[in-house]
Amino acid sequence: MGIALTRAAQWTTASSGTGKLEITPLNESLLKEILDFVENFSSRHPQEANLEFKEPLKWKTTLDPCNFKMEYEVSGQTVKSVETSSNGQPLLHLSSSTIYVLTFSQLTKIVRIANDKKLKELRACLEENRDPVAKILGPSFATVEGEDTSVLRFLEKVNSNEDKEHDVRIKLLILLKQLDTQLLSSSLKQISQEIRLGPDTIKNDVTLLKSFCGNGERRVLISVQYTSDYEYLNGCRTPPWRQVHGEICYLVIHTCDTDPLYVTCSTAGVFLNGGIKQEGDENAYERKSDIYKDLVTFLKHHSPHFAEHINKQDFRVQKEPPSTQKIEHVEPVGAEEQGQTQRSYEHQEKNVHEKARQQPAQNKPGSKKKLEPSSKWKNLGLGSPYQEEDDRKTSRSSILESSLQAVGKKKAEFSSSSLHGHQSSQKIKTSGGGPSSEDLSESSSEDEEDEEQPERRPESHADLPSEYWHIQKLVKYLKGGNQTATVIALCSMRDFNLAQETCQLAIRDVGGLEVLINLLDTEEIKCKIGSLKILKEISCNSQIRRAIADLQGLQTMVKILDSPDKELKCLAAETIGNVAKFRRARRTVRQHGGIKRLVELLDCVPDSATLTQEQEKDVEVARCGALALWSCSRSTWNKRAIRKAGGIPLLGRLLKSPHENMLIPVVGTLQECASEKTYRIAIQTEGMIEDLVKNLNSENRELQMHCASAIFKCAEDKKTRHLVRRYEGLRPLVALLQETENKQLLAAATGAIWKCSISMENVEKFQEYKALETLVALLTEQPEEVLVNVVGALGECARNPPNRAVIRKCGGIQPLVNLLTGTNQPLLVNVTRAVGACAMEPENMAIIDRLDGVRLLWSLLKNPNPDVQASAAWAICPCIENAKDAGEMVRSFVGGLELIVHLLRSSSKDVLAGVCAAIAEIAKDEENLAVITAQALFHLSKDPDNCITMHENGVVKLLLGMMGSTDELLQDAAAGCVANIRRLALANEKARYG
């Protein structure tokens, strides 16, 4: 509560030094959270509520003595509580509107007495007690220089046994730390969404506004001027003692319809000040208006003339042309063993050690000499007023954010009711031996998600934030502290943002991983729980995952899965799920019996929407088990192990759960396993298709995405496609096509539609639901993974003649032809099929021919991929059949006939079939037939027996005529064939006559 209020809340500070809480949405939100904490404190924590404060909280109250009834002695304007402290003082004392309170119990009673004045009373209390924790627990817990080191100082006391009556204080300290975490998390979430201004932004805005100043009739402003011409290296024009408040510059703006506006531009926004004309007038710095996000918005609110005329000016930002826009990349839905999509419960890894600073301006060649701070600034602790890179360029928001990073989003959930000791066997574990034969036979298609990442370290220790050193101190208490200190250190460590790489590596660098893993072997349940909660958080880092595996942490966690304690099993399973993101870890889990144990965790009955407390624990255990299996199922060997352990029917039963948090990992696991044919058959026979279809109608986008992905894989089977239609799953799949912003969901939905459209009965349904029109609209500005599926679906639908006209009328022919120029092999296979299917309609063929689509198809015969070659050859067939002058079109392709004849050498049966079909269409034109037959005879003449047969059948006379053709290729082929026949004849004569 102390650190949160000093850093997160927004205050106004008067010259007297007293502070008032500003009336802002952020402060209102923080006050409501604190009020809830205080109002329910006595009922939730009766023992801590009666603990006497080291110093009373006092403030000016709005409550009247008449408001106090029972449990209080009222005498005129004085009120005293019946309850007294250990030295006989009343726990509550009201005199002359000033109230003194010594316990949380009395605070709870006050807010209940205050009724509708609760927030007002709480605000008054906090404004006059800026560091309440220091008064509650003592001055040694005061917030120093914006940092909260109370836990570390308290650990030192506990460890040295200076505080003999510490049990209740420990509980109260942890509760206050939990509130701090909650408040800072809430404020960080809101602050992170705000746009912060910087010197460059303000400078650009001022330059822009100056361009609208002048004396003409069309002027928007009269003038915009800085109050100071001096600009510091960081871009600010305010004195350094104001820069620490985030202030960038002061302006005097003369509008056409108002008095001069004296404006402060700060990182928080733009507002009116008290009339700053020059530096030194401290009262003039006070804010006199609301805060606006930028100068233009500020002026629109203060000058009607400006607001009216500025919209007529042309200074819009030009958008990037569509051709240069970057297309978001998403994972392909159809690729087997490609890994899981990012889940909502996972933390994003942040590389905080990576340098992002630019070269300081003063170090550039030819720049001015660096200005040093005077002794006054050094003594004040403000550093250089000219420093820019580390302090001001990132603006005040970055300062606040770096402060907030010291506290994590998770609450320290340990109960301090039983602080028994433990004996930690500080044993250092070593990794196992080399790979076995089974290791080497892992699926080659299994991706190694976590390649070794080079560590990004700062150049010096000075770059490390304070959290790094605080965590290292806590790890030392874990190593050598007494029993109580170890538990408190575990709790306190979780107050930091363990999703931040700095905190993760701080734990690892000082040997904290070994200690945390060794704590898993103790008999103390709370130590195991605390250790696993930390390991679960930090294992989002790939380096930490590998370190845990190297220290044999997975083996210990697998053993914990047998524990009777359900919370322990949950934490162990979740941590295994985080660590098992690379092949070696998944293999370790399997080899030590982890798959079988994880499958056993799935055995619960989650069918009912209302569960008993024990059943809820069982469901949570099953959910965590499914999470771990989801990660492990990326291995082919693990998929088989899950099936052998009886996982399929258990997953099928959990699929009927009404709880979405259970369904996501279950469907995710099934989706991974559906790449195996045995699983696809099992999903069908176990009746899971109905449940997958049902969950397509969920409001949870992640769940919808995984269900659609599972259907995509399973719909290879005809019966599955029938079941999807039978259970009315086609309509929700079409509805998901509207989710154009969610690319992963869109890829999954289009993939499922593609595979389902293989069945013509489903195509008719898609016609009914107007799916084609939506699919055509998705042919542009989509990731390739989406395009592959969209084009595949259109190709299947185009087998039905009416759909070819629909595609044309929706403008789908041109984008399809445009996609023929791509390089993505699966996309080329699908788009050639789609173009070929559309070409069966003469009107479509005319458009394809006009767009040079046939030439593009012909060029794909040179593609090295046999699938592309075969698909292109088949697509050429309807193009030739429906072209107006097919013969002339084919002959216009230089080397085209030779190219297609050469493909007869292919070893692919699909290519040979497609080429033969294309040649059959080409040969319908007599001239093309002749050219192909020149070509064919030439290649046949390379065999002596063929030469004899051709000569006997009088081919030479015909070839001599072709040698006079105007087609050079035909001339060469005819001449070559005659030459081969002649060589054979000469060889025979020479052999006969010697």
pLDDT digits (tens, 9 = 90+) for 716-752: 889 999 999 999 889 999 999 988 888 999 999 999 9
User: Do 860 and 987 fall within a single domain?
Assistant: yes
189 assigned to some structural domain: no
CA distance 977 to 936: 9
How crowded is residue 44: how many other Cβ atoms within 10 Å of its Cβ?
Answer: 11
Highest mean pLDDT: which of 342-356, 406-420, 909-923?
A: 909-923
How crowded is residue 723: how many other Cβ atoms within 10 Å of its Cβ?
Answer: 22
Outline where 166-294 has alpha helix (H): 167-191, 199-210, 240-243
Mean pLDDT score of the chain, rounded to an integer? 75
Highest mean pLDDT: which of 119-123, 356-360, 485-489, 623-627?
A: 623-627
**271, pLDDT greater than 60:** yes
Q: Both tokens of residue 419? A: 């602080």
Question: Is 58 strand, coil or helix?
Answer: strand
What average pLDDT score do residues 301-327 get? Answer: 59
What average pLDDT score do residues 420-428 get? Answer: 33
Question: Is 704 strand, coil or helix?
Answer: helix
Q: Which residues pair with 73 in a beta bridge?
A: 80
User: Do 118 and 225 fall within a single domain?
Assistant: no
How crowded is residue 202: how many other Cβ atoms within 10 Å of its Cβ?
Answer: 23
Domain boundary at 121, 140, 159, which?
Answer: 140
Strand arrangement, sheet containing 247-255: 221-226, 247-255, 261-266, 269-272
**598, pLDDT greater than 90:** yes
Looking at per-residue confidence, does 649 or 437 come out higher?
A: 649
| Sequence-separated (6 or more) residues with CB below 8 Å from residue 170 | 154, 158, 416, 419, 484, 488
CA distance 141 to 149: 8
User: Do 117 and 229 fall within a single domain?
Assistant: no
Q: CB-based burial of residue 640 (10 Å sphere; 0-12 exposed, 13-18 middle, 19+ buried)? A: middle
**885, pLDDT greater than 90:** no
User: Do 900 and 980 fall within a single domain?
Assistant: yes
Q: For the packed helices 512-519 and 466-480, what is the interaxial angle rounded to 10 degrees? A: 40
For residue 844, what are the CA distances in angstroms to 200, 801, 809, 941? 54, 11, 10, 41
Domain boundary at 314, 339, 354, which?
Answer: 314
Residue 246 pLDDT grade (very low, low, confident, very high; cuts 50, 70, 90): confident
User: Do 214 and 133 fall within a single domain?
Assistant: no
User: Do 858 and 965 fall within a single domain?
Assistant: yes
**pLDDT score at 467:** 78
What is the CA angle 203-206-211, rounded to 5? 130
| Sequence-separated (6 or more) residues with CB below 8 Å from residue 132 | 1, 2, 5, 57, 125, 126
Q: What is the CATH number of the domain that holds 936?
A: 1.25.10
Residue type, 243: Q
Q: Which residues pair with 269 in a beta bridge?
A: 266
Tally of domains within the chain: 3
Outline where 371-482 has alpha helix (H): 375-380, 395-404, 437-440, 466-480
Q: Percent of the chain, pLDDT > 70?
A: 69
Residue 878 pLDDT grade (very low, low, confident, very high; cuts 50, 70, 90): confident
| Sequence-separated (6 or more) residues with CB below 8 Å from residue 909 | none
**pLDDT score at 242:** 83
What average pLDDT score do residues 954-969 get? Answer: 66
Yes or no: say if 789 and 333 are a contact pair by the CB < 8 Å rule: yes
Yes or no: say if 728 and 693 are a contact pair by the CB < 8 Å rule: yes
CA distance 983 to 979: 6
Looking at per-residue confidence, does 350 or 199 come out higher?
A: 199
| Sequence-separated (6 or more) residues with CB below 8 Å from residue 175 | 45, 48
Cα-Cα-Cα-Cα torsion 859, 863, 867, 871, nearest 10 degrees, comes to 0
Looking at per-residue confidence, does 121 or 398 come out higher?
A: 121
Min mean pLDDT across 153-162, 404-413, 817-826, 852-861 is at 404-413
**pLDDT score at 849:** 84
Yes or no: say if 178 and 169 are a contact pair by the CB < 8 Å rule: no
**pLDDT score at 99:** 92
Residue 472 pLDDT grade (very low, low, confident, very high; cuts 50, 70, 90): confident
CA distance 966 to 931: 11
**310, pLDDT greater than 60:** yes
Residue 952 pLDDT grade (very low, low, confident, very high; cuts 50, 70, 90): low
| Sequence-separated (6 or more) residues with CB below 8 Å from residue 334 | 712, 713, 751, 788, 789, 826
CA distance 630 to 220: 62
User: Do 206 and 78 fall within a single domain?
Assistant: no
Question: Is 421 strand, coil or helix?
Answer: coil
Reported as a single tens digit per residue, the pLDDT across 55-100 is 899 999 988 888 888 889 888 889 999 888 888 889 999 988 899 9
What average pLDDT score do residues 972-982 get? Answer: 72
Q: Both tokens of residue 831? A: 């788009």
Highest mean pLDDT: which of 323-337, 437-451, 512-526?
A: 512-526
Residue 155 pLDDT grade (very low, low, confident, very high; cuts 50, 70, 90): low
| Sequence-separated (6 or more) residues with CB below 8 Å from residue 540 | 346, 347, 348, 349, 499, 504, 578
**411, pLDDT greater than 50:** no
**pLDDT score at 325:** 36
What average pLDDT score do residues 176-201 get? Answer: 74
For residue 414, what are the CA distances in angstroms to 5, 64, 492? 24, 40, 10
Q: Does the CA dihedral 782-784-790-791 come out positive or negative?
A: positive
How many CA atoms, within 13 angstroms, populate the side-chain half-sphere of residue 332?
13
Phi then psi dihedrals of residue 662, to 5 deg: -80, -40
User: Do 127 and 219 fall within a single domain?
Assistant: no
**pLDDT score at 362:** 36
Looking at per-residue confidence, does 149 or 247 come out higher?
A: 247
DSSP letter string over 234-256?
A: TS--S-HHHHTTTEEEEEEEEES
Looking at per-residue confidence, does 976 or 38 come out higher?
A: 38
Looking at per-residue confidence, does 424 or 485 come out higher?
A: 485
For residue 834, what are the CA distances in angstroms to 591, 641, 853, 854? 47, 40, 12, 13
Q: Which residues pair with 544 in a beta bridge?
A: none
Q: Both tokens of residue 68? A: 């106090």
84 assigned to some structural domain: yes
Residue (of 430, 589, 391, 422) closest to 490 by Cα position:
422
829 assigned to some structural domain: no
How crowded is residue 836: how many other Cβ atoms within 10 Å of its Cβ?
Answer: 23
**pLDDT score at 13:** 43
859 assigned to some structural domain: yes
User: Do 893 and 972 fall within a single domain?
Assistant: yes
For residue 873, what are the CA distances in angstroms to 852, 862, 917? 16, 11, 8
**pLDDT score at 739:** 87
What average pLDDT score do residues 441-466 get? Answer: 50
Reported as a single tens digit per residue, the pLDDT across 285-295 is 888 888 888 89
Residues present in the chain in total? 994
354 assigned to some structural domain: no
User: Do 218 and 291 fall within a single domain?
Assistant: yes
Domain boundary at 92, 121, 140, which?
Answer: 140
Q: What is the CATH number of the domain that holds 226?
A: 3.30.2280
User: Do 230 and 127 fall within a single domain?
Assistant: no
Element (H, E) at 95: strand 92-95
Element (H, E) at 266: strand 261-266
**822, pLDDT greater than 70:** yes
Element (H, E) at 560: helix 553-560
530 assigned to some structural domain: no
**pLDDT score at 887:** 59
What average pLDDT score do residues 568-576 get? Answer: 93
| Sequence-separated (6 or more) residues with CB below 8 Å from residue 55 | 134, 135, 138
CA distance 372 to 387: 9
Q: Which domain holds residue 65?
A: 2-140
| Sequence-separated (6 or more) residues with CB below 8 Å from residue 123 | 21, 31
**pLDDT score at 526:** 84
| Sequence-separated (6 or more) residues with CB below 8 Å from residue 845 | 839, 878, 879, 882, 883
For residue 630, what are the CA distances in angstroms to 339, 412, 639, 671? 10, 28, 10, 9
131 assigned to some structural domain: yes
User: Do 135 and 215 fall within a single domain?
Assistant: no
Residue 332 pLDDT grade (very low, low, confident, very high; cuts 50, 70, 90): very low
Q: CB-based burial of residue 269 (10 Å sphere; 0-12 exposed, 13-18 middle, 19+ buried)? A: buried
Reported as a single tens digit per residue, the pLDDT across 841-853 is 888 888 988 888 8
**827, pLDDT greater than 50:** yes
Yes or no: say if 185 and 416 are a contact pair by the CB < 8 Å rule: no
Residue type, 891: R
527 assigned to some structural domain: no
